[in-house]
Each structure stands twice: as structure tokens, then as C-alpha cells.
Chains A and B, each alone.
Chain A
Amino acid sequence: MNQSGRPPRSRLGSLVLIAAVVGGAAAAFAYTAGWLSPGRLTPERMIAALTPPSGAPLGHRRNHAKGICFTGVFEANGNGVELSRAKVFARGTYPALGRFNLGTADPNAVDATVRVRGLGLQIAVADGEEWRMALINPPVFAVSTPQAFHDLLIASAKKEPEAMKIFIQANPEFVAFAGWAKTAPWTTSYAEEPYHGLNSFIFTNAKGEEHAVRWSLLPTVQPGLVSQAELEKRGPDFLEQEIAERIRTAGPQRWTMVTTVADPGDPTADPSKPWPEGRRTVQVGTLIVQRIEPEQDGPCRDINFDPTVLPQGIRVSDDPFPAARSSVYRRSYDLRAAEAGDYPRTGTVKP
């Protein structure tokens, strides 16, 4: 060994070099993992901000924790083809699976205490492709950025009344959502709610043309409006009982899927900003909910309605929310799957 013509480098020098290379790689790794940057907004910090003081809802979703499964179909009318080449828009019927839910971290929340109602949906497109989404009933999102959403969670959990004031000063866009939350009427059914995607996505059609769009599921029944107090009188789990009963007696329930196409310059990156009235809309199909099943053993339990699970022909836009949601929902899923023992299945359907 050591037949090199060069003078041998000092052993110590080489050892230092090796230590520096290995140490440098380890440090770069730690930095990338965020271990050296406690200020980074990680999915863990977002989940911590969602966790109520009483503790995490073990085995349940970390947000929108209360919900009930449904199955049905999505009937595409073919109109979407001009906007997106996604196969799901070709005229036809596609299996759908979803979840009605309440925007709370408490799986046992009283229905009338939760302002935001949501719908998670997965449409199975041809040959294994899927389209997943999670929509809510307010017409605008509460804040402009994922960081602001984190700050909102922190501020609203604080006891000092000043906290929310300071938050609103820093994030004035919150006023529009707060106004909706205060004044919007309460409906008595999941079937009577509109569900809005709020986030912007890019549709690409067969010609390669791109359009920024948002979409909503609009109800096809007239809402029965009540006061919050009246809703409360109907019981803590009224909404789940009602939707099961409604479908049993009145049959499948329908929502029209409407996509709104942005004009150039519309604020696609900010779901707290509605697009101006009069934007082009295209009705692309109908969601038909045919069957309700409790979440505990139901098919929606183990689905993560990650809004970045998209078929070819739909992709994320410059809206920062789908990416943030995807990362946080993944973490939430990992946690609840690991905690499944805290929310045991009744064992009649699946192990």
C-alpha cells in the first residue's frame, strides 16, 4: 500500500477532512430536516395549532373531525371537456365516495356549535386515476396564506380578547369570512349546503389550453333556514341523522358541480378573495349521493381527501393552499392511522 508518488498527506489532516465531510453532510441533513430552524412552518406545527387544549382527537382527523361517509356517483355531462382533458369530464358515470363533515377538531362537537361544514370527495376515474377534494360552505376562505391560517389558529385559541384584534389587524382579509360566519343563515341539512373548493387549480384541455378555475358543488334542494338556537334544539348529532333519514326516505341527493373560469389577472393565489361577479361558469356534472354509512366502519374513514390527488388534465396553480393542505393532511392521516386503536372499528366490516 501507499505506493503513491506524492508525499503522504498528514494523517491528521486527512482525518480532519474526513470528519469535516461526514459532519458537513450530517449538518446539511439536519438543516434540511428543519431541526435547526424552529421557526419553519412544518406540518407538525400546523397540527399542534389545530389541537385543542383538551388534547388531540386520537384516531380521528385533526380537523373536520366529525363526519359521516357517503357513496354515490359523479355524473359528468361532457361540458367539462372543453376546459380539461381529465377523463372524469367525459360524459359518463363515475363511482364517488365521500364524507360530510364539520370544521372542528372535536369528533363529538354539537352540530350547532360548528359554523363551517365540509364535504370530502373522491371520484374514481378510469384505470385507477382518482380525483380527490375537500370543500367547505363559506364563499371565501378565512385567510390568504397557510401561515396566516396557522396564526389564526393560534390567535383564536388565546384567551386574551386582544389576540384576535391583533390578528385581524395583520390579516384584514379575515373580515369577509368573519362577516359570513356571523350573518349567514344556518341550514338544517348537509343536503342544503353549497360546498366550495375555494382553491384555484389549472385545467388543461386536449388542445393544451390552460384555464385557472375554482369549483363548487351547489345543492339542488331549497334550504330550510333556522337560527343557531333552533338548530341546537334538534340535538347534537342532528345533521348526521337527518342526512341518513333524508336519503332513506327521499332517495339520492344531488349537487351540481359548477366550475368558474378566471379572467386573466383574477386572484388565483388567494382563496380569501372571491373573483368578480359574472365570470364564466360551466356546469360539468352532478354528484349523486346514494348511501350513508357511519364513519367508524365506513369507506371514507381511511381516505385522505388530499386536494393534490388530481387526474391528468388538472393541476395545482399558484394557490399555496393545496400544497400546504397536502402536507398537513398526510401528517394527520399518519397520526390517525397509527392511533386507530383509540377509535376501534366495531369489527363488522373490516379488520
Chain B
Amino acid sequence: MSNVPHRFAPIQRLLHWLMAACIFAMFFIGVGMVSTVAPTYPPLILTHKTLGVTLLVLVVIRLAVRLHYGAPPLPADLPPAMKLGARLSHLLLYGFMIVMPLLGLGMLWAAAYPVVLYGGIRIPALLPQSDRVHTLLWNAHFYLGFAFFALVLLHLAAGLFHALIRRDGVFGTIALLPSRNRTTPVE
């Protein structure tokens, strides 16, 4: 098993935590901005759009990196159901990371809003105005946003479960810094 990595590559670990922080911010900015009429609203929505589009770029890079480096195997003693759950949930997380920004952009295009990011960067519309498409994408962005948040919480709980209860080295595969004291990866 000498070719199998024991940890995610540094770039993968960096991207994982950078994007995790940004995605958490996106959830909070999203629900915060739509529930306020305060002067913070325009800067919040500007940040939501800019960060969201940045995340779209990052996920593309992340997928390319993932295809290149692969992933370390899960512990051999992990029950098959848990392994399947882990794989499926990671797949879903990737799906959300790709789909959410696209829905956000699409919903603005379909409402004929100009999409302007920080620094006046403009994203040209790829969809014509349409009530129906706007409503569809709005609903998807709304409901999938909550589903994404729920899955991230589950993922967080699972990660902590590995780190604190199973102590099986899974957390160490993605941890930003190697921790001497913790566990060694699967052997």
C-alpha cells in the first residue's frame, strides 16, 4: 500500500479548511442579509455574491486537485455502512459546492439583475429574464441552502466523532497541521 496517501495533500487540506470557513460565512451572510433592511444589507449581499463566485472557482480547482491526488483510504475497521455514508456525503458536499453558486448566479440572471462583484467585476448574464426560471432557481437556492447547512452540520459531527470518539486518524488526514499527539493514520 505504499502508493496510497496517508493524508490529503497540503493543497487539499488548505482548500478544505479555507472553503469550509467561507461556506460557513456564506450560510450566515445568506440568512442574515435576507432578514434585514439595515444599511448592512448592500455590503452583505455584495460579499455573498463575491464570496459565492470565488467559491465556485475554488471548487473547480479543488476537484481538479482531488482527481490528481486522490484521497487516503478510510480506516479498514470502519463499518461498511459508515464508509458508504462518508463517500455519499462527501459526494453530496461537492455537489452542493458546485450547485449553490450556480443557482445563486442563475437566479439573479433570470431576474435581470446585473451581477456586480467587489471591485466592479461584472458577470455577464447567461440566462434571459424569466419569472418561472427565477422562481425555480430561487426555491432551489433556498431549500438546498438549508439542506447544505444541515449536511455540513452532520459532516462536522462526523468529523468530531472521528477525532474525539473513534480517534481513528480520519481527522488527521484532513487536519491542517499534523498533530503529533493524536493518532497516526491508518496503517
Do A and B pair up? The answer is yes
A residues at B contact (CB < 8 Å): 1-6, 8-9, 11, 14-15, 17-18, 21-22, 25-26, 28-29, 32-34, 40-44, 46, 127-130, 146, 302-304, 306, 308-309, 312, 316, 318, 320, 322-324, 326-328, 330-331, 333-334, 337-338, 340, 351
In the docked arrangement, what's the CA distance between A318 and B42, Å? 12
Closest to A316 in B: B42
Quick check: B31 and A4 within 8 Å, CB to CB? no
Q: A3-B184, A309-B113 are in contact. Are A323 and B164 (CB under 8 A)?
A: no
Partner pick for A303 among B35, B112, B135, CB 8 A cutoff: B112
Q: Is B2 an interface residue (CB 8 A)?
A: no
In the docked arrangement, what's the CA distance between A303 and B129, Å? 9
Quick check: B111 and A309 within 8 Å, CB to CB? no
Quick check: B181 and A15 within 8 Å, CB to CB? no
Quick check: A320 and B38 within 8 Å, CB to CB? yes
In the docked arrangement, what's the CA distance between A327 and B39, Å? 10
Among B1-36, those with CB < 8 Å from A are: 27-28, 31-36
Contacts of A4 in B (CB 8 A): 167, 181-183
In the docked arrangement, what's the CA distance between A2 and B164, Å? 10
Partner pick for B160 among A18, A130, A330, CB 8 A cutoff: A18
Instruction: From B77, B111, B122, name the one whose CB has the most chain A CB atoms within 10 angstroms.
Output: B111
Q: A28-B28, A33-B31, A337-B111 are in contact. Are A17 and B181 (CB under 8 A)?
A: no
Report 7 cross-chain contacts, Cβ distance below 8 Å, ordered by A residue: A2-B167, A11-B165, A14-B164, A29-B31, A41-B37, A128-B114, A334-B134
Q: A22-B153, A29-B28, A323-B37 are in contact. Are A304 and B183 (CB under 8 A)?
A: no
In the docked arrangement, what's the CA distance between A304 and B157, Å? 41
Question: In whole Å, how far is A195's beta carbon from the nearest beta carbon of chain B?
Answer: 22
B62-92 vs A, Cβ < 8 Å mask (1 yes, 0 no): 0000000000000101000000000000000
Contacts of B27 in A (CB 8 A): 29
Instruction: From A40, A302, A326, A327, name the one whose CB has the most chain B CB atoms within 10 angstroms.
Output: A327
19 extra A-B contacts, CB within 8 A, seeds A14-B160, A128-B124, A318-B39: A2-B167, A15-B165, A17-B164, A18-B157, A25-B153, A32-B31, A32-B35, A42-B36, A43-B36, A128-B114, A302-B129, A306-B113, A316-B39, A320-B39, A322-B42, A323-B42, A326-B42, A327-B34, A337-B138
